[in-house]
Each structure stands twice: as structure tokens, then as C-alpha cells.
Amino acid sequence: MALVQIADRVFVLPGGVNIGIVRLGNGGCALVDAGLNDSAAKKAIKAVREELGSEVTAVVTTHGHADHFGGNATVVKRTGARVLAPAIDEAILRYPILQPALLYGGADPIDSMRTNFMLAEASPVDVVYGAGPLPLDGFQGEAISLAGHSPNQMGILVDGVFFAADVVLPASVLEKYRIPYLFSLTDHLAALEACTAVDAEVVVAGHGPVLDSIGDLRDENRRIVLETADVIVAFCEVARTSGEIMTEVLERRGADVNDAPGYYLLQPTIQAYLSHLTRTGQLVSEIGANRSTWRRC
């Protein structure tokens, strides 16, 4: 698919993961994310070379999920590009086994969780960045904290274009998966507020179409999150285990899970809800009789 120009020096290569491309002052180009795999990376490199007559000299990774950095290794091998990644998430780029291991409760993950959707090829990290101006010559943009979907996810704002990573997911994804993966619900709710305050003329989410505004999609994502939280609180009128809570949420939200990757994406997501609801005083966590349970306050 051809590049879509969205500002004077900013482009997007649409795909399963939208790849941003920014012309730099030094004549090179920076990618914002590199997609899931070798194929996505090659398409981005080819587009930069053939459509822009340039070369990829940097990759700005928004967060440490394999579908967003799985193409990094190929880009680096073929172009020598430098890789920038957020603090904390950068560890997953360098040691990709951490992603499926974290989802699997910190243990050695089963083989069905070792597909390229969860286990990418390792990527070097040359620069670890945080919120604020990006340490990349000629980029002239800034990183905005959107933590929650991952420990330290970042959005990227450049020339009025807001690359919003996965702070919001499109309607098609919400309809299919029902309960978006979260590392921290507390942080995610803050990110959903922060993203609407970004002064941008165009919004490029990590998945789905380019948007004029993030507001409506933000509202839909927030609604789903709050409704799921309400389901949990209501169900915990009596003490429940996290497994019981997860089964109730999946059934109430119509989220059928039939494979290990789907199950182990949602299990820690439920834990993120329980942490938040305990933190905000809506639930209390109890340990007794060899069980961990949550109960409505």
C-alpha cells in the first residue's frame, strides 16, 4: 500500500499496524513503529526509498508490544537505523521473551504463546526516551506519556500529527476483542484524559483509519473500560477469586476466548482492573484459606 501524506513531512503507511514516517532535517527518515514482522519492515523501507527517495535512519518505538516493534530488527539490519524506545518498555525490545513471560504470570510461557504476535525478534535500543522533546536530530517533535496499555507507552506529536499508539483502539477491534489488553487501568484512564488534550490536526492511532479527532473514539474506549469495571464490582458482592471474576467478565462482555494467547492477554488485564478497583476503594483484596479473593467494599 502506498504512503499517505498527512503533513508536509509526515506520512503514514497504513496496515495492520500503522507505521508513521517523518522526514528528518538530515535528509533521512524516522519510522514511528516498524510493524509486526519482516514483511511490514520491508514495505516501510521500500516505501521510504522508492516514494521519498530517502533512507530510514531511525525508528521511534511507541511501546514494547511485538506487533509494534517486530519489524525493528529487519530495519536495523537493512539500514543501520538507530532505535529509540521508552524507558521500561525498552527492556522488552532487547529481551522479547519478557512479553509472553509477563502475560504468563512471570513464568516460562507455553509454546503457543511464542508466535510472532507475542514474541518478536530482539531489537537493539540506542536511545531510551521519556516524555518531552525527542532526542533525535531533525525530528522536532515530542513524546507524550500514554502509559497503561503498556508500562510506559508513548504517543508522538510532530507537525500537528499525533501518533497515538494504542491508547485508543478502533471500533472493529473493540467489537472483535471486547476487552482491550491493559497493563495498568489506573494509568490507562489517565492516558485517556491526556490524549484529548493533545493539540493535533490529525490523529494516527496504532490501528485503524486516520482520524481528524480522537475524542469520539476515546469516549467509546473509555465507556467499555468503565462498563467492565462496573461488571467486576457488581459481581464481587461476595468474595470472588480472580478466575471467577474473569469468567464472569468474559461471559458478560461476550468475549469468547478459545486459545492460550487470547486467554493470557485477558488474565493480566483482569488483574489490572482488580488493582485499580482496590486502589480506588471499590474492592478489598483478601488472602485466606489458601485463596486470594476480592470483595466489594
Query: Is 188 within 8 Å of 240 (Cβ atoms)?
Result: no
Query: Which of 56, 49, 95, 98 lies closest to 75, judged by CA?
Result: 56
Matching residue, cell 538507530: 82
pTM of the predicted model as reported, rounded to 2 decimal places: 0.96
d(CA 93, CA 66): 8
Q: Which amino acid is at 29?
A: C
Going by the DSSP 8-state scheme, the letter that residue 55 receives in this structure is: -
Query: Is 129 within 8 Å of 86 (Cβ atoms)?
Result: yes
Bridge partner residues of 154 (DSSP): 145
The CA–CA distances, whole Å, from 237 to 4, 264, 294 equal: 51, 26, 9
Please report the pLDDT score of residue 25 as a whole number. 83
Question: Which grid cell is 205?
Answer: 492511532
Q: Roughly how many angstroms between the first and final C-alpha of the chain, as a whole number?
A: 53
Please report the pLDDT score of residue 177 as a whole number. 82
d(CA 160, CA 122): 32
Give the domains, in start order, of the chain with CATH numbers. 4-213 (3.60.15.10), 225-296 (1.10.10.10)
Please report the pLDDT score of residue 1 as a whole number. 59
Spell out the per-residue pLDDT of the chain, length 297, in tens. Answer: 589 999 999 999 999 999 999 999 878 999 999 999 999 999 999 999 999 999 999 999 999 999 999 999 999 999 999 999 999 999 999 999 999 999 999 999 999 999 989 999 999 999 999 999 999 999 999 999 999 999 999 999 999 999 999 999 999 989 888 899 999 999 999 999 999 999 999 999 999 999 999 999 999 999 999 999 999 999 999 999 999 999 999 999 988 898 999 999 999 999 999 999 999 999 999 999 999 999 999
Going by the DSSP 8-state scheme, the letter that residue 122 receives in this structure is: P
- Nearest 5°: the CA angle 143, 146, 152 is 85
